[in-house]
Chains A and B, each alone.
Chain A
Amino acid sequence: MPSYLISRLFMAAWVIFGVTSLVFFLIHWVPGDPVEVMLGESASAVDREALRQALGLTQPILQQWGSFLTGVFTLDLGTSLFYQQPVMELLNGHYLATLELAVAAFAIAVVIAIPLGVIAAARQGTAWDFGAMGFSLLGVSIPNFWLGPLLVMVFSLGLGWFPVSGREGAGAVVLPAITLGTSLAAILSRMVRSSLLEVLGEDFIRTARAKGLSARQVLIRHGLRNAWLPILTLLGMQVGALLGGAVITEIIFNWPGIGSLLIESIQKRDYPVVQACVLVISLAYVMINLITDLLYAWVDPRIRLEHT
């Protein structure tokens, strides 16, 4: 286990370094002068130069890169060009909102997908199976920026059950979470089905049946438990799509999270904030994948022993 842990941590560190640098260079390489955007075209050359100095934009690019990396590791992401406020402070207000949305969406996806996948696998080839997989196909194919407005039309404007947008009140998270969670639910139910089907073909399942266990026990205790492993890894990867989708979902529902902040700062050309938002979401993704991999190794001894 220790050697696996070390190699995996090492890789995560490398990826974080790479992600950080990639974000930095992309933003600096993109055409468009932030100073021009901030001051407008009428500003005098002296003012521009002064601001450029203040932002550290006159330093060589490698030096800027160095100070950006140091900043990331000391949790100092600079100052917002627009709000004149430390970026960390800005993020603080927003990441909890994104976290709330992502966790709610994840919970909805799991609650829908697992029973659906299990039913589809247990009754393979029946109407149940077709129904579940039909739902899955629709779920993958419906873009969240269409599903969101449709839900609003029916449940907010039509029935008045939930607010149209914002984060006020207890019910506010429901529609955004369904919007974001649907595609994950669709993919997850497929994964549960195929993983479970594979396990159900194994010899130990036949043994379990032969020794007279009930269908439910065979399915849950022997089937699902063993089907978990591949699902877990894929789930970690899918969380990335969930975080990406959160950006669009937040815009649809005016949800005050990192995604809204990202789009807003893109429009305002607030580079430090754009940089920070991309970084925070990517870091979250890297961490989730790291945790999934470690969990996987912990659950399945074969993984960690491969590396010793």
Chain B
Amino acid sequence: MIRPVWPVVVLLLWALVALTASWLPLQPDRIALEAILHGPALQYWLGADDLGRPVFDRVLVGARTSFLVAGWVVSLSVTAGTLLGSMAAYLGGVWDRALVMIIDIFMAFPGILLAIALAGLLGPGIENLIFALTLVGWVGYARLARAQVLSVKRREHVVAAQALGTGTARIVMRHLVPLISAPLVVEATFGVAAVVIAESGLSFLGLGVQPPEASWGSMIRDGVRYMLVAPHLVLVPGGALFLVVLSVNLLGDRLRDHLDVRSIRRTMEQGTGK
């Protein structure tokens, strides 16, 4: 198997740009009338958009938007999902049944649809976007964590901890969660790709970050109108988005092979009776 380095480089660049964008001398909102729809050139590396704003600067700011949203949504979803899923599975009984019922309902929605409706009704803005995507996102991790805990909760070290009188929270956090973290890490990696696409998708629909703030999705939407005269307005932000998502997916595949999650997955599917 070939193991190219470039996905890692792309992701490091993405993170670096996102974290330093506030300090870089970027002018994503500078309007220059003489540069309207300018193609890529020496002064405008990646061209200028319909208001003459530099596409290069806006793509970097868009990187920050997607990184921020993906970071928040994935960490919040993984935390909430893991806690709820593993607690319910460990406690069993009513708790577990209640969680399964809730999971069943959430799984009955196409996730992005619920996010669209929620983000749309809450009104645009990055916080609402994060909230909507988290509300949809935690379910997958909860389901995975639950199934995993069900398969390991009868292990001897857990029984030993119980016999020693260890509290529930401590057993879950110290003795169960570390055991089930490998598949969750893989799931979270693919989750980053999904959230990056979802953020851009919602912004593409006009339900994400608001102008003049830049998102790759809203840049594509604005660019579509000028596809004939200025294709770079669609190609550049879309290319950046595609590159990041592709890199995350490649990394996820590699992690999955490395941590050998496939066989664990199978026990999980048996655990949920699917």
Q: Which residues of A contact B (CB under 8 A)?
A: 11, 14-16, 18-19, 22-23, 26-27, 30-32, 137-138, 140-143, 145-146, 149-150, 152-153, 157, 233, 240-241, 243-245, 247-248, 251-252, 262-263, 266-267, 274, 278, 281-282, 285-286, 289
CB distance from A57 to the nearest CB of B (A): 16
Q: CB distance A244 to B101 under 8 Å? A: no
Q: CB distance B110 to A14 under 8 Å? A: no
Which residues from B are CB-within-8-Å of A142?
242, 245
**Which of B24-32, B82-90, B116-124, B156-164 contacts the other chain?**
B116-124
Which residues from A are CB-within-8-Å of B223?
149
A146 to B193, CA, bound (A): 15
Q: Is B271 an interface residue (CB 8 A)?
A: no
Residue from the list A27, A146, A150, A282 in contact with B113, Cβ < 8 A: A282
Q: CB distance A247 to B118 under 8 Å? A: no
Q: CB distance A150 to B234 under 8 Å? A: yes
Q: CB distance A262 to B116 under 8 Å? A: yes
Residue from the list A149, A251, A282 in contact with B109, Cβ < 8 A: A282
Q: Is B246 an interface residue (CB 8 A)?
A: yes
Q: CB distance A145 to B200 under 8 Å? A: yes
Complex interface residues of chain B between 188 and 224 (CB less than 8 A to chain A): 193, 197, 200-201, 204-207, 217, 220-221, 223-224
Q: Is B105 an interface residue (CB 8 A)?
A: yes
Q: CB distance A243 to B110 under 8 Å? A: yes
Q: CB distance A285 to B201 under 8 Å? A: no
Q: CB distance A248 to B204 under 8 Å? A: yes
Which residues from B are CB-within-8-Å of A286?
108
Residue from the list A15, A143, A243, A282 in contact with B197, Cβ < 8 A: A143
Interface of A is mostly: helix
Which residues from A are CB-within-8-Å of B113?
243-244, 247, 278, 281-282
- The residue on A at minimum CB distance from B239 is A146
Q: CB distance B105 to A153 under 8 Å? A: no
Q: CB distance B242 to A274 under 8 Å? A: no
Which residues from A are CB-within-8-Å of B116?
244, 247, 262-263, 266
CB distance from A305 to the nearest CB of B (A): 14
A262 to B231, CA, bound (A): 29
Q: CB distance A137 to B105 under 8 Å? A: no
A19-B105, A282-B108, A285-B110 as given contacts; A248 in contact with B205, CB under 8 Å: yes
11 contacts between A and B (CB under 8 A): A26-B121, A137-B249, A143-B201, A146-B238, A149-B238, A153-B231, A245-B112, A248-B205, A267-B120, A282-B108, A282-B113
Q: CB distance B121 to A19 under 8 Å? A: no
Residue from the list B104, B204, B238, B250 in contact with A18, Cβ < 8 A: B104
A152 to B226, CA, bound (A): 12
Q: CB distance B242 to A240 under 8 Å? A: no
Question: How many of chain B's residues have a CB under 8 angstroms from any CB in A?
Answer: 43
A11 to B103, CA, bound (A): 12
Which residues from A are CB-within-8-Å of B177?
none
CB distance from A145 to the nearest CB of B (A): 4
Which residues from A are CB-within-8-Å of B117?
23, 26-27, 262, 266, 274, 278
Q: CB distance A32 to B123 under 8 Å? A: yes
Q: CB distance B231 to A145 under 8 Å? A: no
Q: CB distance B114 to A278 under 8 Å? A: yes
Q: CB distance B121 to A32 under 8 Å? A: yes
A251 to B220, CA, bound (A): 13
Q: CB distance B242 to A27 under 8 Å? A: no
A232 to B226, CA, bound (A): 42
Which residues from B are CB-within-8-Å of A281?
110, 113
Q: Is B274 an interface residue (CB 8 A)?
A: yes
Which residues from B are CB-within-8-Å of A138?
246
Top 4 A-B residue pairs of the complex, sorted by shortest distance between their CB atoms: A244-B110, A266-B120, A146-B238, A18-B105
Q: CB distance A11 to B121 under 8 Å? A: no
A263 to B238, CA, bound (A): 22
Which residues from B are CB-within-8-Å of A247?
112-113, 116, 205
Residue from the list B105, B111, B207, B228 in contact with A15, Cβ < 8 A: B105
Q: Is B33 an interface residue (CB 8 A)?
A: no
Q: CB distance B108 to A285 under 8 Å? A: yes
Which residues from A are CB-within-8-Å of B114?
278
A26-B117, A141-B242 as given contacts; A15 in contact with B104, CB under 8 Å: yes
- The residue on B at minimum CB distance from A137 is B249
